[in-house]
Amino acid sequence: MNKQELIKEFEEIGIHGLNMFGTVVKGIPTETAIDLIKQLDEPKPVKVPQCVADWYLLHYHDFNNSIVNLCIRREDSIDNNDFLKWISDTKDFIQILVNIHQFGYEVEEEERYYVRFKGMESDDFNYLNFIKFQKAWVLSSLKIDNKFRTAHTRKELEEAGFGWVFDCPGIEIEEVE
């Protein structure tokens, strides 16, 4: 419910009655008013891709000038290609950035995938894993462990040279829920 809808509700309910002294009272019972106010829409944080959150974190301290720079397309000052693509693909990007500044933001969860190599001798060691502390890719079992990352975003796979797994018949891609 928005502000105008709430006002309309109050006007429709507007109870008239007599108090114990016989005086006419206009008003709405407090409990009813509180219940209606609880239904008011509160601004919610804006969901944005990670690249937008990264840009905002770099520019929130000088937000107005940063927006002006975007408007005059000083693209040479933007070193985040994903962000440039986002503003090119998003019709109302300025409004979204202003909403982020006013109401906060949440980073959209990117889809994550398990990558399993088919036809391997062992069914245990055929998942693509990333060993975090070694920064190395290995085939291993599907481990849920702080040392390994077993679920990967498309971007992580593409940056590591594994973008081809999405088109390969010998690979099974399973979306993580």
Nearest residue to 70 (alpha-carbon basis) of 104, 100, 38: 100
**DSSP bridge partners of 107:** 48
Could you tell me if 132 and 149 lie in one domain?
A: yes
Cβ neighbors of 90 (< 8 A, separation 6 or more) are 96
Q: What is the pLDDT of residue 119?
A: 83
Task: Write the pLDDT tens digit of every residue in 10-42.
Answer: 777 665 555 556 666 566 677 777 777 877 777
Q: What is the pLDDT of residue 167?
A: 93
Could you tell me if 165 and 121 lie in one domain?
A: yes
Query: How many structural domains comprise the chain?
Result: 3
Last residue of a domain, which of 86, 107, 128?
107
Q: Dihedral of CA 30/36/37/39: which sign? A: positive
Last residue of a domain, which of 56, 74, 107?
107
Distance, in Å, from the CA atom of 9 to the CA atom of 27, rounded to the nearest integer, reads 12
Q: Which residues of the chain register pLDDT less than 50?
A: none
Q: How far is CA 139 from the centre of its chain?
A: 31
Could you tell me if 103 and 65 lie in one domain?
A: yes
Last residue of a domain, which of 54, 85, 107?
107
**DSSP bridge partners of 153:** 112
Could you tell me if 103 and 117 lie in one domain?
A: no
Could you tell me if 101 and 116 lie in one domain?
A: no
Could you tell me if 101 and 81 lie in one domain?
A: yes
- Number of residues in the chain: 177
Distance, in Å, from the CA atom of 85 to the CA atom of 89, rounded to the nearest integer, reads 6
Distance, in Å, from the CA atom of 102 to the CA atom of 94, rounded to the nearest integer, reads 12
Q: What is the pLDDT of residue 14?
A: 64
Could you tell me if 22 and 51 lie in one domain?
A: no
Q: What is the pLDDT of residue 22?
A: 61
Could you tell me if 7 and 26 lie in one domain?
A: yes
Could you tell me if 94 and 138 lie in one domain?
A: no
Could you tell me if 69 and 30 lie in one domain?
A: no
pTM equals 0.53
CA dihedral (49, 53, 59, 60) in degrees, to 10, reads: 120
Domain with 28, as residue range(s), is: 3-38
Nearest residue to 60 (alpha-carbon basis) of 92, 102, 18: 102
Q: What is the DSSP letter of 112?
A: E
Could you tell me if 98 and 66 lie in one domain?
A: yes
Q: What is the pLDDT of residue 137?
A: 93
Could you tell me if 98 and 125 lie in one domain?
A: no
Q: What is the pLDDT of residue 33?
A: 76
Q: How far is CA 157 from the centre of its chain?
A: 21
